[in-house]
Structure 1
Amino acid sequence: MVNEQGVGGRATVGLETVFKIGGVPTVTFVRPSRWGTLLTNLRTPGRGLVVEGPSGIGKTTAVKRALAELGREEDAQYLSARRPSDVELIELLPSTDNFGLVVVDDFHVLEDSLRGDLADLLKALADAEDATSKLVVIGINRAGDRLIEHAPDLVNRLDVLRFDVEPQQKISEMISLGEKALNVEINARDYVVESAHGSFYLAQLLCHEICSNANVFETVGQLERVTTPFSRVKQIVLERQEIRFDKVLTKFARGNKFRPGGRAPYVTVLKWLRESDAWTISLPEAMRLHPSARASVSVVLKNGYLENLVSDPDIAKILHFDSVTNVLSLEDPQVAFYIRNLDIVAWVRKIGFRNVDLDISYDVALSFAGEDRDFAVALKEQLEERGLIVFYDHNEQARILGEDLEQFFRPIYQAGAGYIVVLLGPTYGQKRWTRFESDAFKERFDQGRVIPVWSTLVPETIWDKSRTRGGCTFDPNDDTLKQASEIAELISHKIDEN
């Protein structure tokens, strides 16, 4: 709302117009850091443009304002990949001539085949320098990577404009414009700048709440100092976000199969997102930076569990996962603010996890002789189906290349796994590596951390100390899958009850 008469010669502007929490800012619009590059591309006929970056950073707003400055705002057609009716129009673009200026928002949620079609279209338009058709694509981080993956020779035919987290001076500039419009000074502005983490949207949201809490709803006549404590505003915002996001974040953290005593790989992923400056993470890069959590996250990644989980309609509203680039991104900047300010340890306990503080990488490590590998594989798969993280030697082939194998394996069997499951077949004690592994974990028998699984081909003797422990039996000549499933279920219950 703008009242031209104003107060004291100053135009009166409504709070909802100054610090906008929906729509494109006008009064408080600040040119982002990449403004010049954006204008240059939009003036170039046919040359494709990909605008990528974290949600809420101001990508769409910047494109709209740049087109307005160029006098082309009315020419542009905006299509969203989240609206089915718009997707139908997007599908027609590759077969449409002279379609004008089209901006495709939320490109990252399109089907992979359609993204490939748009990549081919961008290449054709650039080659033709077509002045009658121009395509602008907006998406989260790495959107340009997917296009180039579809059409590698696009590299020199389009511009990928990455909107990273804006510097603090840009956020401060935006707040100053709002203060001037409302004729106020916000005491907590420095806290807002810090807490926004480079997001114009979050800064708008926090300033809106600060002013609203101080009953400043439009331009005031005399300069007013707004002294609303930031702690109060932060708590109000977090309480609202808890209502919106806590249930769905709990669903994500617990995963497809909730195991209170398991490794909680999805909690680990949330922690990485919480620590990310850009609200998006490449999981392979994150695993390299956090080797202790690599095992648990790699299991849910390579088996497709993470992809299936994020496809849940509720979770898909706040998280996006690209299964080709293995990049996970937050879809809503308010979720980023919520998880950054969450007491993560208390929250993880509240939603039912018991083991997340343990400094171990695996729930179970398997020890077996090569002759029993078929049963070991079946048992590993059944344990993983129940949400457990399993150390299995063949999963580590790439990591062990060039390594000292004894130095690599010993810590895992000594302390790196919660339990050792040892398959005691006829040749177990005759093999070099089984002797090495059993020597590494032998002291864990007295801790109740070794679960023996005896082959029926091995007769029981009074000299076998493993028989003094509770264990299971498998018959190599019987139904492998059925036995593996039954034993995995018992082990799973043991871990949960401990």
Structure 2
Amino acid sequence: MNLEDVFVTEGVPQFTFVRPPNFSQLLVDVRRAGMPVIVEGQSGTGKTTTVKQVLLEIYPDNVPKLLSPREPQDLPLIDEINISSGPNIFIIDDFHRLNDTSKRRIADLAKVIAERDDRSNLPKLVIIGINNVGSDLIQLVPDVAKRIGIHRIAPGTRDSITQLINAGCDHLNITISPIEEIVNESRGDYWLTQQICRTVCLSVGVDRTQENKRDITWNSSLVNQLVVEKLHHNYDPAVKEFCRGRRFRPTNDPYYKLLRAVSEQESSNVDLNELANSRPEIKGSINNVKDHRLKVLLEQKEMCSRLFYYDPETKGFAIEDPALFYYLRNLDWDSLRQRCGFRNAEEDYEFDIAISFAGENRDFANFLVDSLKNLDISVFYDRHYEDNYLGGPWSKYFQEIFAQRSRLVVALLDQYHKEKLWPTFERDCFALRIPNGEVIPVFLDDTLFPGIPMDLVSIKYQFNGNLEEEKNSIMQNVVLRIVSKLDSI
């Protein structure tokens, strides 16, 4: 036998297919006329492969075609499915990739079919999608739940992954050791197991069944590198998109640091609070994004949201695709950093900007904060962090934030800033940073400040007090100049 027919990475494995425990239940529901069926599970669990095997056993002479939103030519065919489509079977793969309108239409159709007593002349729907596609569809049409078959394909167990490897080895007349390392690396992903085993064989020149029994000891570093190269085109665009954030800046690398730290964990499900506390050298970067920025990134970048999950309430970050986690664990992160265009820097900041102002200018400050956040810039703004510091002294936190934990300080300077107690304290905190160019003074009037030279390059903006009238002017003359400074660091 040829290697590619044994360890299969495209199509249905003939010799190394491992039936999931609920295979028979799924087969019965797919065979049942008209009953809509949903097959869900995380990437790599073999959902599509299992459905194909079920179809092969039910329709050995005429296996129905799978339709997928990934294929442009399939979209019109999916749109044409309706109650009058006759007793044909329609398998919709990657259901989660359909637009909301198409999802609801298919969900409504499933409901109509499920409610009929006589379904002999109605279309049969089999829907395949990632985790929770069944519950998501039920949310679209709540009363359909009891009338459809929902089957979750779970990741492979250690026994089933071992069974797959041993079956392939038997057909190729080889043994692979250590087999346990492949089991651990695959994390229950059948496709990844097939890919690693295939790469192991190729790395030692085995491309077909051996005449004499052959024992293979594999070089994990070499094999991991080869598999990562194979996975590169699948994951690199989304990984780079994630690492570069919503708006690229050469110093805007907290997403990169977070993802690299996650890749170094034993589990692909991570509590970001715990991760930040366990990694003091990048604690600032993790805190920089975990409260707001990470949620917005995944909301705005669909490419990233398909691969990464984040719950801003629990601070739980998850990579559900074992092949992606394998890719990240074995990735050359220094090379990725260069390809992202980040500068090398030892400093780690919790905030890009800390804003110092007097209470009389809060509306102005609030507009700056919102504008900078919309440009994916993290800002320390007292109102947003009061709950974090309840029970502690502001003086201690302000000292740390304005002196150390922010990349730059933006100070809204006027007579109020000079006269008020807290703004004066903040100036004392960031005074030593002024000669280093780490403070951006925004003069709102002509008040003189000891320690801030008049010839210091600064922003001068005469605010008339009407924020609505001046928003465009503030954006052009203040916000974008601050952003330009960040870009140049």
Please classify the TM superposition score into its range, dividing by the shorter chain length: 0.7 to 0.9
Indicate the residue corresponding to 2:447 in structure 1. 460
Verify the 8 A CA contact 2:352 2:378 in the aligned structure 1.
yes
Change in Cα spacing, 1:448 to 1:58, as seen in structure 2 (3 Å) is same
Match of 1:62 in 2: 50
d(CA) in 1 for partners of 2:274 and 2:117?
A: 43
Q: CA deviation at 1:450?
A: 3.8
Aligned residue pairs: how many? 471
**Deviations for 1:413-450, whole angstroms, at most 9, x for unmatched residues?**
45443223222344446667656766765676677644
Partner of 1:339: 328
Task: Evaluate the alpha carbon distance shift between residue 191 and residue 331 of structure 1 in structure 2; reply closer, same or farther with a 3 A threshold.
Answer: closer
Matched residues in 2 for 1:38 and 1:383: separation? 51
Partner of 1:424: 413
Do the aligned residues in 2 keep the contact of 1:365 with 1:413 (CA within 8 Å)?
Answer: yes
Partner in structure 1 of residue 279 of structure 2: none
Indicate which of 450, 469, 472 corresponds to 2:459: 472
Alpha-carbon distance, 1:489 to partner? 3.8
* 1:492 and 2:483 are equivalent in the alignment: yes
* Code of the aligned partner of 1:209: T
Amino acid at match of 2:102: L
Contact 1:263/1:363 (CA < 8 Å) preserved in 2? no
Q: How far apart, in 2, do the equivalents of 1:474 and 1:380 lie?
A: 17
Residue 258 in 1 paired to residue 248 in 2?
yes
Inter-CA distance 129–442: structure 2 relative to 1 (3 Å threshold): farther
Aligned to 2:110: 122
1:198 deviation in Å?
1.5
Instruction: Map residues 319-330 of structure 1 onto 2, 5 A cutoff.
Output: 319=307
One-letter amino acid of the counterpart of residue 169, structure 1 = D
User: 1:218 corresponds to which residue?
Assistant: 208
- Alignment gaps of 5+ in structure 2: 277-282
Taking a change above 3 Å as real, the CA distance of residues 482 and 73 of structure 1, as seen in their structure-2 partners, is: farther
Aligned counterpart, 2:195: 205
CA contact 1:310–1:321 (8 Å) conserved in 2: no
- CA distance in structure 1 between the aligned counterparts of 2:112 and 2:345, rounded to whole angstroms: 51
TM-score calculated relative to the size of structure 1: 0.78
Q: Secondary structure at the match of 2:66?
A: strand
Residues 475 and 34 of structure 1, relative CA distance in 2, 3 Å threshold? farther
Residue 234 to residue 262, structure 1, CA distance change in 2 (3 Å):
closer
How far apart, in 1, do the equivalents of 2:236 and 2:132 lie? 27
By how many angstroms is 1:191 displaced? 2.2
Separation (CA, whole Å) in 2 of partners of 1:64 and 1:357 = 51
CA distance in structure 2 between the partners assigned to 1:76 and 1:417 by the alignment: 59
Q: More deviation in 435-444 or 214-223?
A: 435-444
1:338 and 1:376 mapped to 2: Cα distance? 43
Residue 373 (structure 1) aligns with: 362
SS at match of 1:209: helix
Match of 1:236 in 2: 226
The partner residue of 2:387 within 400, 414, 418 is 400
Which residue in the other structure is 1:3 paired with? none
Match of 1:296 in 2: 289
Check 1:214–1:34 CA distance in 2 against 1; reply closer, same or farther (3 A cut): same
Q: 1:53 aligns with which of 41, 59, 62?
A: 41
Which blocks of at least 5 consecutive residues in structure 1 are unaligned?
A: 1-12
- After TM superposition, give the deviation of residue 236 of structure 1 in Å: 2.8
Q: 1:28 aligns to what?
A: 16
Structure 1 residues 162 and 434 mapped into 2: Cα distance closer, same or farther (>3 Å)?
farther
Question: How far does residue 50 in structure 1 lie from its aligned partner after superposition?
Answer: 2.6
For 1:108, the equivalent position in structure 2 comes to 96
Q: Whole-Å Cα distance in 1 between the matches of residues 342 and 92 of structure 2?
A: 41
Is 2:147 the partner of 1:162?
no
Q: Which moved more, 1:77-86 or 1:145-154?
A: 145-154
Change (3 A) 1:322 1:140: farther
In structure 1, the residue matched to 2:342 is 353
Could you tell me how far apart the structure 2 residues matched to 1:378 and 1:413 are?
Answer: 20
Root mean square deviation of aligned Cα: 4.1
Describe the shift of the 1:428–1:145 C-alpha distance in structure 2 as closer, same or farther (beyond 3 A): farther
Distance 1:130 1:266 in 2: 56
User: 1:234 corresponds to which letter in structure 2?
Assistant: N
* 1:45–1:248 CA distance, 2 compared to 1 (3 A): closer
